[in-house]
């Protein structure tokens, strides 16, 4: 039976990578993304996983903050939807992670790199095929990097295509993308066979435990429902906004046609109070009359 637990739901993502007992998974994930030499060997998780955060269904930003000793500060998060303010938000939190390292009187040389890593289920940069993008402070004309101490990594999970390739033979980041994308649809034994490395076997065990533990399963379902409800509300707002926009356009057309026909111009509020069908019917009638007048 498939695991049925989606690791991109924030409850699961944070249980995997923000639980101090799974610090090795976070280290492996960071090394897969950053590919630094030498690799990261230890991290301090600054906001450990806490069941109380999930006591209700309120949807909030639950990212993971960590620090590798003497090397860098990290902000890691998962986003299921691309929204308008995502880009400035990532820049803002990256800058805060950088600035908040210093206290009054500290020297700038004490600043460590502040690295934001955002895993996206949807593609943000659809014009590019590359699934992993790294942003830093650079000169746009000459490609010179001012500093690597402010970085934003965007990993677009939707761009990882496992068809025709074995996850076992892929790189570390592609393997994590496979795990995040497909764990819910696979049986635990199949996932362990496809990703036999120790970290992935352990991660599969974490997901399996959530599936089999009633309390954890309940927390997962509550968070998943909250995310789905939130996404549905956003979709409704977009549709309502689009409908209102179309209504405004039709109302303006009605007023224009009335003006051309030298008829009294209906107040906008009166037109907006009509149903969309009634407003469209009025527009079409005026348009026909205008056409008949040549």
Determine the Cα–Cα distance for residues 154 and 132; give it in Å rounded to an integer: 6
* pLDDT tops 50 at residue 134: yes
- Domain ranges (residues) in the chain: 10-212, 243-292
pTM of the complete model: 0.76
Which tokens belong to 137?
């402070």
The alpha carbon torsion through 113, 119, 120, 125 (nearest 10 deg) reads 40
Of 111 and 248, the one with more pLDDT: 111
* pLDDT tops 70 at residue 169: no
Determine the Cα–Cα distance for residues 231 and 235; give it in Å rounded to an integer: 6
Give the position of tokens 């659809």.
126
Q: What is the DSSP string of 108-156?
A: GGGPPPEEEEEEESS-S-TT---SEEEEEEE-TTT--EEEEEEEEEEEE
Say what the pLDDT of residue 150 is: 94
Say what the pLDDT of residue 4 is: 94
pLDDT tens digit sequence for 77-121: 999 888 778 899 999 999 999 998 888 778 888 899 999 999 999
């Amino acid at each position: 039976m498939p695991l049925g637990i989606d690791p991109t739901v924030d409850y699961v993502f944070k249980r995997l990578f923000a639980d101090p007992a799974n610090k090795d998974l976070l280290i492996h994930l960071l090394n897969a993304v950053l590919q630094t030499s030498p690799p990261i060997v230890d991290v301090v998780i600054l906001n450990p996983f806490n069941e109380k955060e999930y006591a209700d269904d309120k949807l909030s930003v639950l990212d993971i903050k960590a620090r590798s000793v003497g090397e860098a500060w990290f902000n890691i998060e998962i986003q299921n939807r691309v929204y308008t303010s995502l880009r400035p938000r990532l820049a803002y939190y990256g800058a805060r992670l950088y600035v908040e390292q210093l206290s009054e009187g500290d020297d700038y040389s004490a600043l460590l790199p502040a690295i934001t890593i955002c895993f996206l289920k949807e593609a943000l940069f659809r014009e590019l095929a590359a699934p992993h993008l790294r942003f830093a402070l650079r000169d746009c004309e000459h490609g010179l990097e001012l500093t690597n101490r402010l970085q934003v990594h965007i990993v677009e999970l939707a761009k990882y295509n496992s068809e025709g390739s074995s996850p076992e033979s892929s790189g570390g980041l592609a393997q994590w993308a496979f795990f995040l994308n497909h764990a819910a649809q696979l049986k635990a034994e199949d996932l362990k066979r496809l990703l036999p490395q120790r970290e992935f076997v352990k991660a599969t065990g974490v997901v399996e435990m959530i599936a089999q533990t009633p309390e954890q399963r309940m927390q997962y379902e509550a968070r998943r429902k909250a995310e789905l409800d939130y996404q549905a509300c956003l979709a409704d707002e977009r549709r309502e906004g689009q409908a209102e926009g179309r209504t405004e356009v039709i109302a303006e057309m009605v007023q224009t046609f009335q003006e051309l026909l030298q008829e009294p111009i209906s107040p906008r509020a009166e037109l907006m109070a009509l149903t969309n069908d009634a407003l469209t019917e009025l527009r079409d009638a005026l348009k026909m009359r205008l056409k008949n007048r040549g």
